[in-house]
């Protein structure tokens, strides 16, 4: 089953990839067909792959400590899920299940390491996107916590806090990116 580069280019992360970068990425992606109700990731399990949804839909759910499950999202074709696992070996934070029959492309941590050799710019773009996604989620969590702790103050200060947070995060992202890049390359 060949990788469809036009599908990859519809994924925001890969949209600016050159033909050479798409070829290098295609060489490390593993296409996989999954049936509806198949669990792709299990919350708490070890994982080292991210998934690009090509066809079908995936459900993302979180189980709290009491065992209550909550669907927190649905992944559509062109979206990516599980991307933190290619740079961080921590247990999966959610369960991802195919809602319908689906075609997914998997990128493993090992594949990302091979991509770093064959196409460093493509590997850097993927790692950069993972860092941006994590940073965006962290900011959202920070914002929700701040709103709960100080709802009246947050409304008045929100524009100033956002500008300051964005300015402060830029150097931190570069530093984090450098550390991850070094760790992946063994430097």
Residue 94 host element (H or E): none
Structural domain boundaries in the chain: 5-111, 117-185
Q: Is the dihedral of CA 32, 33, 35, 36 positive or negative?
A: positive
The highest-level CATH class for domain 5-111 is mainly beta
Phi, psi of 137 (to 5 degrees): -65, -40
Max Cα-Cα span within the chain: 55
34 pairs with which residues across the strands? 102
| Helix 109-118 and helix 151-185, axial crossing angle in degrees, nearest 10 | 70
Q: Report the C-alpha gap between 88 and 91 in whole angstroms.
A: 9
How confident is the model at residue 165, as a pLDDT?
A: 54
Q: What is the pLDDT of residue 159?
A: 59
Residue-level pLDDT at 160: 60
Is the pTM of the predicted complex or chain greater than 0.85? no
CB neighbours of residue 185 within 10 Å: 12
pLDDT in tens, the chain (187 residues): 445 677 777 787 788 888 888 888 889 999 999 999 999 999 999 999 999 998 999 999 999 999 999 998 899 998 889 988 888 888 999 999 999 999 999 999 999 999 999 999 889 888 887 888 778 878 888 888 888 888 877 666 655 656 655 555 454 445 555 555 555 555 5
């Amino acid at each position: 089953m060949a990788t469809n580069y036009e599908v990859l280019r519809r994924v925001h992360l890969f949209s600016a990839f050159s033909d050479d970068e798409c070829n290098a990425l295609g060489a490390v992606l593993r296409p996989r067909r999954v049936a509806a109700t198949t669990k792709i990731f299990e919350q708490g399990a070890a994982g080292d792959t991210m998934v690009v949804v090509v066809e079908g839909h995936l459900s993302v759910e979180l189980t709290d400590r009491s065992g209550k499950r909550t669907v927190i999202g649905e992944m559509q074709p062109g979206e990516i899920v599980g991307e933190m696992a290619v740079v961080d070996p921590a247990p999966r934070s959610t369960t991802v299940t195919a809602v319908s029959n689906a075609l997914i492309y998997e990128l493993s941590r090992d594949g990302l390491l091979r991509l770093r050799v064959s196409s460093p710019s493509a590997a850097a773009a993927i790692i950069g996107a993972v860092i941006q996604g994590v940073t965006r989620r962290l900011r959202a969590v920070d914002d929700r916590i701040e709103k709960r702790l100080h709802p009246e103050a947050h409304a008045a200060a929100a524009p100033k806090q956002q500008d300051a947070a964005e300015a402060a995060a830029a150097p931190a992202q570069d530093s984090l990116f450098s550390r991850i890049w070094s760790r992946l390359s063994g430097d």
